[in-house]
Structure 1
């Protein structure tokens, strides 16, 4: 108990934590600028809804393959892998300027997916190392605020540049500069924490040689990651098609959705991380999933700025509670040495959901409409709730882990 109390007062806002959080902000700022603009660019190049879905889908496949490999081999070289991944992201984002056909754009997305797979695993794992174990839910929540703030600003700015004089070259330039700033911030991270963990430090265990399977994914992370996959399917449908949905139903300025969504993400993460640490994941994940389901129903019937805004607010509160809580839950289930594999498993499943959702829902939208596509997405969250509640029910006689 004394050790736990000592860790409770450990400082969270160290220079390293601030720098890795800033690095995450600039990384996601460049990334988020491209999410609503590349689908429009793809259509301008002659791509259909299936090709638009592939922008996210093929990107995700390469990130998916990359993450577990990096999680298995990076060891103590997290920073080196992060710097290499950021450099690759910068090069390929700059190269979007020369993607003048559907094929070239999809090839560029393949390479970008590799870089993204590297940086998301290494940045999240490096952040976990510098966050005190007893404040992990809070720390991961604050770390996630960086990507949330980027989501609040970048999509609307990207769409404004796309519609303005700069058009797509202007979007690419700003995204590339933001990625270089991420590189510089990550370069300044010098130390690491995380050799001891409040959940595991009290027991010394002999280190057996890991199996090939355990190097590729972390078994203890599989169930929460499955839930992340289901959330990813819904998220993939939103980020891939919300701009085109706005055109379908004649709603202008869909950038408002991203901004309001992200502001709500920002607000809820200030609360949900501490609630997670004090009460457990049930108090955060279940209410959050209900809000996501409600947001999809509202979005499917949206025909004005007002209904679009309501959907954005509901989704922001729901997604902002669920996604970081799933990640913190995973990190609490594993020992420090397995955080790399655990993060790789989480992000891979989440992105598999995003990519698979973008491709499958794109075909569905082609056959029906974007509005109908979002109504069908509601049932994915219903499945999420059924699976999650079943898990909690089965473990009601033992501590939730």
Structure 2
């Protein structure tokens, strides 16, 4: 069977197509405000440190909700739970235009965080349920591409719209998840999938997901700092947009293409290797900001983007492999909680470090050091290897 046939066959599954569509719409709404809303808050008078709270509050609520999603799904089924989630993510967005004070922004972000928590847990867990045997890495890659595409286009595009046009087009994009309600109902219908009924092994599944999730948290922490403070540190609309586009593009390619490699070779070498690549890329990005070298800044963003995307895919595959089929929704909840915790606290951690006098470039350099410290954890986290044929074993 040709590579082309293997890749295209996943698109013949209606549920995969619905999952990709729902993910695109849902993450478009999330990405629209990820970098532009902190900029908007600063533009309306908030301090840079306080502006990071709009991301932190949303993702803080998201993390809390993520651990409750498996319980809600068992009661309502996948379709209705997803529909409620995407509606909650998109519908409150126009309220950002009602008041430009920070407190109302935080309230709206908190409500949206509820919906984002539902979307992230069920989207990731459905990759394990819908993927054919031996194709989980590839399914995660397609799911990751649907996440990365909005990060590539919408994150920098929303910044450009906010800085050069107005903020209301950003709000329109942030409302897009409402359009995903029909897809949410279609993918789940009235059924409760196997993943929703798993009750045994949740504690073991959570423990199995811890190491990959810690590795994920460190790199998403750095990514949250980059996306939040790059537009503030480099207010030139063209440069900030170009760097974010490059970061998003390479992250999309890394997260998408590494999936097939994981299915063939496992994560034992891939995960530590991509973590090390992330250290190099983030250090170069920080040095480019510090020295004002735009070429180094762009190169660092590209390299860090590849690692940022690849580590996301590989840690999810590794977490499911370590759990050996137990508590799929629990694995997804732990992994997503780490992802969103990292992104959320990154906005505050980088801002707090920068406020001490070291500045944003040095704060990102500290983040690169933190990722380097996690290299041994990446080796241990990838000890379970996913192989073709749908079997997971110890490497």
What's the TM-score, normalizing by structure 1?
A: 0.85
* CA distance 1:372–1:181, change in 2 (3 Å): same
Contact 1:78 1:125 in 2 (8 A): no
1:58: how far off?
Answer: 1.5
Show the 5 A alignment for 1:213-232.
214=203, 218-232=206-220
1:186 matched to 2:154? The reply is: no
Q: Provide the C-alpha distance between the structure 2 equivalents of 1:147 and 1:17, rounded to a whole number of angstroms.
A: 14
Q: Provide the C-alpha distance between the structure 2 equivalents of 1:371 and 1:108, rounded to a whole number of angstroms.
A: 31
Q: Secondary structure at the match of 1:282?
A: coil
Match of 2:394 in 1: 400
* CA distance 1:271–1:118, change in 2 (3 Å): closer
Q: Provide the C-alpha distance between the structure 1 equivalents of 2:375 and 2:101, rounded to a whole number of angstroms.
A: 41
1:21: how far off?
Answer: 0.6
Contact 1:155 1:258 in 2 (8 A): yes
Match of 1:78 in 2: 78
Q: Provide the C-alpha distance between the structure 2 equivalents of 1:126 and 1:208, rounded to a whole number of angstroms.
A: 13
* CA distance 1:324–1:305, change in 2 (3 Å): same
* CA distance 1:394–1:25, change in 2 (3 Å): closer
* CA distance 1:209–1:129, change in 2 (3 Å): closer
1:28: how far off?
Answer: 1.1
Q: Secondary structure at the match of 2:100?
A: coil
Q: Secondary structure at the match of 2:258?
A: helix
Matched positions, count: 376
Contact 2:275 2:378 in 1 (8 A): no
Give deviations 1:123-155, integer Å, cap 9, x for gaps.
222333221131001111111101111111102
* CA distance 1:25–1:391, change in 2 (3 Å): closer
Q: Provide the C-alpha distance between the structure 2 equivalents of 1:245 and 1:145, rounded to a whole number of angstroms.
A: 28
Q: Secondary structure at the match of 2:234?
A: helix
1:288 matched to 2:274? The reply is: yes
Match of 2:359 in 1: 369
Gaps of 5+ in 1: 1-7, 197-206
Q: Provide the C-alpha distance between the structure 2 equivalents of 1:210 and 1:389, rounded to a whole number of angstroms.
A: 28
Match of 1:3 in 2: none
Q: Provide the C-alpha distance between the structure 1 equivalents of 2:28 and 2:199, rounded to a whole number of angstroms.
A: 39
* CA distance 1:333–1:394, change in 2 (3 Å): closer
Contact 2:41 2:100 in 1 (8 A): no
Match of 1:257 in 2: 243
1:48: how far off?
Answer: 1.3
Q: Provide the C-alpha distance between the structure 1 equivalents of 2:92 and 2:327, rounded to a whole number of angstroms.
A: 30
1:185: how far off?
Answer: 3.0
Match of 1:146 in 2: 146
1:321 matched to 2:321? The reply is: no
Give deviations 1:274-329, integer Å, cap 9, x for gaps.
11111111232122112211111111122244222212210121112111111112
* CA distance 1:72–1:332, change in 2 (3 Å): farther
Give deviations 1:353-401, integer Å, cap 9, x for gaps.
2222221221111122111111111111111113223666999xxx637
Match of 1:346 in 2: 335
Contact 1:67 1:344 in 2 (8 A): yes
1:263: how far off?
Answer: 2.0
Q: Provide the C-alpha distance between the structure 2 equivalents of 1:267 and 1:354, rounded to a whole number of angstroms.
A: 20
Q: Provide the C-alpha distance between the structure 2 equivalents of 1:270 and 1:93, rounded to a whole number of angstroms.
A: 29
* CA distance 1:9–1:295, change in 2 (3 Å): closer
Q: Provide the C-alpha distance between the structure 2 equivalents of 1:266 and 1:273, rounded to a whole number of angstroms.
A: 12
Match of 1:204 in 2: none
Match of 2:63 in 1: 64
Q: Provide the C-alpha distance between the structure 1 equivalents of 2:237 and 2:174, rounded to a whole number of angstroms.
A: 26
Match of 2:25 in 1: 26
1:308 matched to 2:306? The reply is: no
Q: Provide the C-alpha distance between the structure 1 equivalents of 2:156 and 2:27, rounded to a whole number of angstroms.
A: 14
Of 232, 256, 267, 1:244 maps to 232
Match of 2:3 in 1: none
Q: Provide the C-alpha distance between the structure 2 equivalents of 1:195 and 1:208, rounded to a whole number of angstroms.
A: 7
Match of 2:252 in 1: 266
1:358 matched to 2:356? The reply is: no
Larger displacement relative to structure 2 (125-134 or 307-316): 125-134
* CA distance 1:82–1:335, change in 2 (3 Å): farther
Of 1, 9, 12, 2:10 maps to 12
1:235 matched to 2:234? The reply is: no
What's the TM-score, normalizing by structure 2?
A: 0.86
